[in-house]
Amino acid sequence: MKSFLQKMPDALKRVLAVFVLVAGTAVLVRAVLPASLTDSRLHIKTTVEREMAHPVRYAGSEACADCHEEYKVKQGGYHKNLSCETCHGAAKEHSENPSDLKPKLPRMREFCAGCHTYNPSRPSGFPQVNPAAHNPRKVCIECHNPHDPKPTRTPRECSACHAEIARTKELSPHVQLECTTCHTVPQDHKLIPRSVRATIPSERSFCGKCHSKESGRKEAPKVDILTHGEKYLCWQCHYPHMPEVQ
Ligand code: HEC
Ligand code: HEC
Ligand code: HEC
Ligand code: HEC
Ligand code: HEC
Ligand code: HEC
Ligand code: HEC
Ligand code: HEC
């Protein structure tokens, strides 16, 4: 053993010394730490106990159904996926003691605007408004029932629901093209967009109608449709709402 250590290069001895130090410290610390930190089962148990000890604050929407009509009203409407307590705050105590503890009534514009203010990161088609322009100085609930907000009855411009795309196209070389040049849009898409869908072009030849050498559309720049971009769909390289050539 002694001769083995002596034969070892110095560098290796230092590495060994550091290793022994680190491993030794780890063993030592583990021995000193309380069991609740080293025993994972005990750790899970104490954590669960701690969390379970918190008072329950939310009752869940079903709990409101017994006493409030609003439960039924909301079920058929556009807010069906929002829980009552999303808007009224935690209401477990209220459910158990209705007359003493009243949930909050979020009547201010800011509250609705929190979800409905125009924001490009929201999914395409999510109903959004610009609160500065959309009937300012009146509370939203004057016109929209919070438990059954009505979708608008009249079909609207594409830009009402696809504002980001509309604004992008406005600044692009395709500004002169109507949305319906490229999309077939049944009238009902503008009322029930998730059930009645608009179409998206499916082939390269669609763009070729204006951009192939054979096309009669003079102001559109031409490419050789057979070789340009090979087998890929045109919109795998060109964003159709903002086609740009760098
Ligand atoms: C046991 C019956 C009962 C249950 C369960 C119950 N409420 Fe109520 N709630 C009442 C009564 C009664 C009032 C009217 C209190 C008053 O005006 O004195 C009320 C009033 C309210 C109000 C109006 C407060 C105001 O200031 O006018 C809201 C909002 C409300 N409840 C929400 C809820 C929600 C959300 C739930 C479910 C989490 C719920 N309630 C569960 C009985 C109930
Ligand atoms: C999108 C937010 C929102 C959701 C979700 C919501 N509420 Fe309301 N609720 C409101 C607002 C805002 C008011 C105040 C309406 C007013 O003053 O005209 C209100 C009012 C009420 C009132 C008082 C009604 C009155 O005439 O005084 C009750 C009770 C109530 N809500 C219960 C519920 C219950 C139960 C649910 C779930 C089934 C629910 N709400 C879901 C926003 C909401
Ligand atoms: C004076 C009445 C009035 C007030 C106040 C009002 N709205 Fe509207 N809202 C309407 C009408 C009418 C429409 C349908 C016509 C349109 O699209 O502008 C509508 C449409 C909407 C839409 C659907 C937009 C879409 O593109 O699908 C949302 C979401 C909306 N409002 C939210 C709000 C919010 C949030 C507030 C408060 C910050 C508010 N409204 C205040 C009358 C009102
Ligand atoms: C927690 C987020 C949230 C809050 C807060 C909220 N909403 Fe909504 N709202 C939604 C969702 C989700 C939909 C359904 C969207 C869908 O069907 O794609 C919706 C739909 C609507 C619609 C239907 C628009 C249409 O034409 O399709 C209107 C109007 C509306 N909300 C108004 C309001 C008003 C007024 C308030 C305030 C009392 C409010 N919302 C608060 C999430 C919210
Ligand atoms: C009432 C709001 C609304 C109006 C108005 C509207 N759309 Fe849509 N559109 C949507 C929603 C919501 C979706 C997402 C549907 C989905 O993913 O299920 C969508 C999806 C689409 C799609 C994608 C279809 C797909 O299969 O991915 C296209 C293309 C489209 N809309 C084009 C248009 C055009 C063009 C117009 C105007 C002529 C228009 N939309 C008007 C709400 C609307
Ligand atoms: C030059 C043809 C063209 C025009 C004009 C055009 N689109 Fe498109 N659009 C397409 C193509 C192609 C796709 C498929 C893109 C993809 O799958 O990557 C598409 C996809 C979409 C989608 C679904 C995917 C997404 O980007 O969210 C929507 C919604 C849409 N278009 C709406 C519109 C609206 C609204 C307008 C008018 C403001 C419009 N389009 C104008 C060609 C066009
Ligand atoms: C109805 C005719 C028409 C259709 C269909 C069409 N475009 Fe265009 N496109 C044009 C016109 C016109 C211009 C040139 C506008 C200008 O520069 O004044 C153009 C310009 C372009 C440009 C050049 C942009 C630049 O910076 O020079 C590209 C890339 C392009 N389109 C791609 C596409 C793609 C991809 C499709 C299919 C999704 C498509 N186009 C469908 C008419 C069309
Ligand atoms: C693999 C990516 C790719 C594909 C797929 C593609 N393109 Fe292009 N496209 C480019 C690039 C890069 C340029 C700019 C360099 C050039 O001129 O070749 C361009 C340029 C263009 C131009 C402008 C030409 C000019 O003279 O200004 C048009 C128009 C165009 N493409 C239309 C299309 C159409 C239509 C399709 C589908 C048939 C398509 N592109 C498919 C990458 C692609």
**Segment 204-236, tens digit of pLDDT:** 999 999 999 999 999 999 999 999 998 899 999
Nearest CA to ligand 5 atom 42: 125
3-state secondary structure of 212: strand
Nearest CA to ligand 7 atom 30: 243
**Ligand 1: residues whose CB is within 6 Å?**
59, 63-64, 66-68, 84-85, 88, 91, 94-95, 98-99, 102-103, 105
Residue 10 has pLDDT above 60, yes or no: yes
Residue 123's pLDDT is what? 86
87-129 pLDDT, tens per residue? 999 999 999 999 888 999 999 999 999 999 999 898 887 889 9
pTM of the model: 0.58
What dihedral angle (degrees, nearest 10) is formed by the CA atoms of 19, 25, 28, 33?
Answer: -130
129 burial (CB, 10 Å; 0-12 / 13-18 / 19+) is middle
3-state secondary structure of 223: strand
SS (H, E, C) 168-191: HHHCCCCCCCCHHHHCCCCHHHHC
CA 229, CA 243: separation in Å to the nearest integer? 14
Residue 151's pLDDT is what? 64
94-103 pLDDT, tens per residue? 999 998 889 9
* Number of Cβ within a 10 Å radius of residue 127: 13
- Is residue 147 within 8 Å of residue 183, measured between CB atoms? no
Q: Is the CB of 82 under 6 A from ligand 2?
A: yes
CA 63, CA 95: separation in Å to the nearest integer? 7
> Buried b vs exposed e over 145-173: b needs ≥16 C-beta within 10 Å?
ebbbbeeeeeeeebeebbbbbeebbeebe
CA 161, CA 116: separation in Å to the nearest integer? 12
Nearest atom in ligand 2 to 74's CA: 38
Q: Is the CB of 122 under 6 A from ligand 7?
A: no
Look over the chain and give the mean of its residue pLDDT values, rounded to a whole number: 90
Q: Is the CB of 73 under 6 A from ligand 5?
A: no
